[in-house]
Structure 1
């Protein structure tokens, strides 16, 4: 199994889009890019712990602080070092995440056999196909290759080795995908900005703006600081739409007061940074990246030059099939629905859309990554009426912003976890 690192993760420094920057136990830093969220977070079970200020949509937030959610995660599972902005757990090692995955299998599905485990979450998609047979076959074949026969055994009856084989099979059926890693000494502000900036999925601006060149800082700014650098920070926060908790706009008065502190916290929460209200190197780098993206022209999702064009095409094809099953022709509503789903999926950390399904009352649409039969599938949802009225240009901008984790409209990433307590689609 390809894992992020053979050394333990000590701290999550920053997260943007499909990039994570970690500090390892030996003091070095590691940048992990692409792959699946499960791989990037050392979280093969996709364990998630919601909190009230996450970037999930309001109906999917839990009434607790991020610190309380992290405490819950660390109380229930060993090796949790952080939560990302969606509440997904980050484990110190793949081994720690794997133990949490096995605990989830035992406690949530202990009374089920492999067939029952998979089929209990299986449904037909809108192409009229069900996928549980392939899922079951993959799990059994993986276990057999390791010397175990899981046929007829309930999860709670499996030995430690058999449970490991089951977890291997689930990961293989889920198409666990590793990305790329780069190990470095601790990064300075400019290096961290480069690590967090666009890579294979986005186009970097041709040059930095004057504001970027002038307003970068080499030290942390915090409440009580005064001066021109604070004023520049306030201008940047205001330009990005950050406000204090009471909704007041930030004024560039060059005094780092309580409202500026709260605006920095808001920005940090949207980027998966530690919400301490201190504008350190990671926060300043993220602000610079957000400004660069805002000042760069964003092509339409219809344009192959858009970094999310491929995912949009996947969403469009799924929605078009849904149109066909309901006897209506595809049109502008199809494009807008697909665009909204693409933006939501990217915000949830997904990297592909395999299915689109509707809730029972058709009020919400779900973009799904992975087999519908999988208990570890990922999905993001949108309000259907809002989605089919959202201009494609707006979704195009949101999708591009999500790929660099620019603070935009909330999105959600719902996984089957022991702590979620939120109803998703009946898949």
Structure 2
């Protein structure tokens, strides 16, 4: 007995069983004998694919092609008859059966990890049918159109953009600029989709977190508006606002890890200490309380993949990059701190992208610029909290922001030697 062949056939059998379990569960209410394909059929389809691949390796490609063609025709006929009897017009089970055979064949050829990964992905897609349809219904056509346009510009136009600088001073690299823009827009789009899908189910804490992934500034503005209207208590609004600060700090850390891992040792202690201070709001909101916990938060956010938003962010990154480079040449690298503070008032992400990728300062100076931008952004949010939410909310949010900055400052003083 060949252990390797046995392992391949076992993998093909397991992939078929996995997809068959999902298909059989969906059809569990039907009477026995009325289903064209269920658990047993899909399991056998996966095993047949594995055997066909092994026989094809020994007898030639014609043997595999004959088995694959015979299976495809017979399976298609039975699925067509099943759909006709039920008066349905779905090709999902037919495609799933052919895919099961193909993945079994892939496992039979020895590509076990690839086949298993694809099998799990296929089972998930089949299992989450209702969720996927609900997600699609929750999107508007302009949002889908914008996402498709951005994807086309990324996967079609991006490779065509020049990687070398396009200006005489060597400041603007279009391919890198577009990649960084899409990176941030994609991260924000994930939070935007979460906000859209959660809808009325988005509680105060969940809504604050999801909204902050898109824009912590707009989420604070929404909390301030709710507080001024009296629909949120002062403690609830302040706690949710502190969650936006926590999300911002975590987002900064992830961007640094992804774009500039050499800075992690410098910024990690400061961001962890600041995040621990900001997490106090999460602990308050998650603690069982009275009916105020039922308050919902659904910020009014625009799609981050809107073409105008993406273009505006790209211009912000490019403009800040030019300012950083020119100021460094004329006033020295220390000018980066002043630009980081000014840029952080508007957008921390743009500062991080410039510091980590578009300029080359020393590690301590780069880390200082990132942290200063974060502090400046909290200052701008504090001003927004005063203006939009009133004096009491502004004072409470400013106090929480000051607590976060103080915790980070203490960590910085103890770790930076």
In the superposition, the TM-score normalised over structure 1's length comes to 0.24
Higher strand share: 1
In the superposition, the TM-score normalised over structure 2's length comes to 0.25
Q: Structure with the greater relative contact order (CA < 8 A, sep ≥ 6): 1 or 2?
A: 1
Q: Which has the larger radius of gyration?
A: 2
Higher helix share: 2
